[in-house]
A and B are shown apart, each in its own frame.
Chain A
Amino acid sequence: MTRLWNVAVAKGYVTREQIEEARILRGFSPGRPLGEILVDEGFITREKLAELHEDPDVIPGGRIPEEVRRAQADPANRTDHFVRIRRLGRGGLGEVWLAYDLELSRYVAIKFPKKEHLAKFLDEALILARFDHPGIVPVHEIGPNYIVMAFIDGVPLEEAGLTLEEALEAVQQAARAVHHAHAHHVLHGDLKPGNILLRRDPAAPRGIRVTVVDFGISQGLVELNERLAEGACVGTPAYMAPELLRAGGPAIDHRCDLYSLGATLYTLLAGAPPFGSGQTSEVIARAAAEDPPALARLSPSIPPAVDAIVRKEMSRDPAKRSRDCEEFADSLEKILWADPRAGKRIAGWRIPLAIASAAMIGLALGYLPSAVGRNVPDAAATDVAAAPESRHLSEGRTHEKSGNLAQALEKYTQAIEANPSSGDARFERGVLYCVTGEYEKALEDLLAALRLAPDNMRIRPFLHYAVSKLAELGNRP
């Protein structure tokens, strides 16, 4: 029995026999919450049930959060002992909700598959339940029409605003998680940036922690080969290994996931999938016939060692890829730490991938920001001329608030002149240029700001904004 009903029995609100009767009646109308049946049958009052949901014995962590309390007010948000709070996503196969587990006092993610896809999702849950790895989202519970999983408060890799170093670390962690799945004879089958979530965690290596999600089309080797032989395979073409796309190709093994991880890293570094994300047939044709474009040509800031490992994992011949995901992860680790050339360079860099993306867009527009690839200046230099810079900045902000943008711009420029290594001043002027629609200037200032203050989390959103606006407008400096 669940904790809630154990407490209900212990407090004498309801008997175990009544709960069993309610369970059987639920068999006649699947999907109805057990608590609702108990109330309808007169086994327990609605007030007592509500009390139970807030009972300290039921909720070891104490009182429930306010947002949960608000959501709880609407009975439509209840699914068994979970309160649905907000929808995290919706697709053709079903919905995912952020919910709160009233029994264990924790946030969870609940998948509600459409009826016709329920079996597929239950398969996913059974696969996930086999794993025990910090990089793979754990399954907490399987209900009659839903699957409860840990809520990963992260963002997909492509939205994470990663530095080069972080991108390598993220894919390295993901590769180790996938290796764990392979050790259980399960392929992921749909690895891509969107299926790897990232959380910032100061205690984690390089400050990030990744979780591989969506094992929805995972399968064992036997099943996968059988399905291919039956004439169908599943995945996202931009990240699928060529052998999955080739009729009459060799038998499939775990190395198709290696290809997807290589393509994922490629996308993170280049800002777009290797063979584009357009028409499926075009992507498939290119993946089957071409090597990916060299990363070094797209962005000179990407070290040759990284380019080489990406190209290796994206080999059309699986035999030329790493032996397994662990070997791939080790290779990335070596680049990050041990390689005397590439390793040191990367370890010292804080090159945001937003810059790599900007560089690509700039390249397409015939423009490459000069700031890309430079090193962070000595922090000591920043302190010397801080005082006048602060004054100019403060005055500039006041002008900006009052709508005097021209004077604000002048003040920010003076702040930069007073202290050319001030990330704050560059940032403020960059934002102001966004406001005035001068996106090229904004891009230049924001890139410089990021180089000067790589840990300033406010910069990246504006940088993305400026880049997207430039791309949208097709501007050429």
Chain B
Amino acid sequence: MGKETIFSTTGGGFPTTRWTRLLQIRESGTARSREQVQVLFSIYWPVVRGVIFRQWTRDPEEADDLTQEFFLSLLERDFSKDLAPDKGRFRHFIKAALKHFLLNRRRDERRLKRGGGARVVSIDDPAVAEVAAEQGVEGFDRDWARCLLKAAVDRLREFCAASDRRKHFEAFQLHYPPDRPEEALPYPQIAERLAIPYHDVGNYLKWARAKMREIVLELIAEYAGGAEAARRELEDLFP
């Protein structure tokens, strides 16, 4: 079963539903709108799937199914009871829930394997580190930050297209290529590539950086609740 059958991924975008909305749903005591919750969860789908894919299964379909199972398990129990602003941020909640989910899966698998002989390995054995690395939900926060950046870049692209600033966006992409800093083009080459005056490159980039920051903070505010909380989350996500 594909994830699209239950969760829509909002076209690769990031939060359109405020985290605070979920809290409001909980506080109001009304029945949660399944659709609203699904939209909220869909935002974090890639992060959860990424952890499961790396640490549980390399089978894309199985990773999809397990990711779906994870979110369903959250829906099936009254997860909102576990949520409160003083219990930590939403990101931490999802992370903890995923860790428990994987732990339970591991326990189930162990039952199947019980009785097998133990293999002893020295700690200098490279295989040992591999075993140890399989624990937990490694890479969760990193993926979260990457998802956020990706969504912010998407939104910046849309904004630039809508406001006739395509070259601003292109300059930004050429100067700050994600994960490939070695491919970053210097100002003169960007000017040449985009056929714009050299002195405009700096102005375009200055505008794009500021807009990018604005968008990132908006996206974080979707779940962090409040401008100052969003700035703290930004520091936490991008130390």
Contacts and interface: CB of A to CB of B under 8 A. Distances in A.
Contact of A233 (B106, B118, B178, B181): B118
Interface string A48-83: 000000000000000000000000000000000000
A222 B107 contact: yes
A43 B177 CA distance: 20
Which 5 pairs across A and B sit closest by C-beta, in order of nearness? A119-B138, A29-B181, A247-B117, A23-B238, A120-B132
B145 interface: yes
Interface string A213-238: 00011010011011111111111110
A304 interface: no
A27 B149 contact: yes
Contacts of B121: 232-234
Interface in A133-159: 143-144
B213 A119 contact: no
A32 B184 CA distance: 14
Interface in B132-182: 132-133, 135-136, 138-139, 142, 145-146, 149, 152, 176-179, 181
B131 A26 contact: no
A284 B132 contact: no
B123 interface: yes
B115 A248 contact: yes
Interface in B100-119: 103, 106-107, 109-110, 113-119
Contacts of A123: 132, 135-136, 138
A190 B125 CA distance: 14
A245 B135 contact: no
Contact of A25 (B131, B209, B217): B209
Contacts of B109: 230
B196 interface: no
A93 to B, nearest CB: 6
B114 A229 contact: yes
B129 A116 contact: yes
B235 A231 contact: no
Interface string A231-265: 11111110010001111110000000000000000
Interface in A1-38: 1, 16-17, 20-21, 23-30, 32
Given A116-B133, A234-B121, A1 B181 contact: no
B71 to A, nearest CB: 23
Contacts of A374: none
A348 interface: no
Interface string B202-239: 00000001101100110000000000000100110111
Contact of A248 (B117, B145, B237): B117
A21 B110 contact: no
Nearest to B111: A229
Interface of A is mostly: helix
B238 A28 contact: no
B33 interface: no
A217 B234 contact: no
B85 interface: no
A278 interface: no
Of B129, B131, B135, B149, most buried by chain A (CB within 10 Å of CB) is B129
A206 interface: no
Contacts of A122: 138
A229 B117 contact: no
Nearest to A94: B129
A20 B152 CA distance: 14
Contact of B120 (A91, A93, A245): A245
A344 interface: no
A143 B133 CA distance: 18
Contacts of B72: none
A20 B113 contact: no
Interface in A108-134: 116-120, 122-123
A226 B106 contact: yes
A26 B179 CA distance: 10
Contacts of A244: 118, 120
Given A143-B239, A217-B132, A231 B149 contact: no
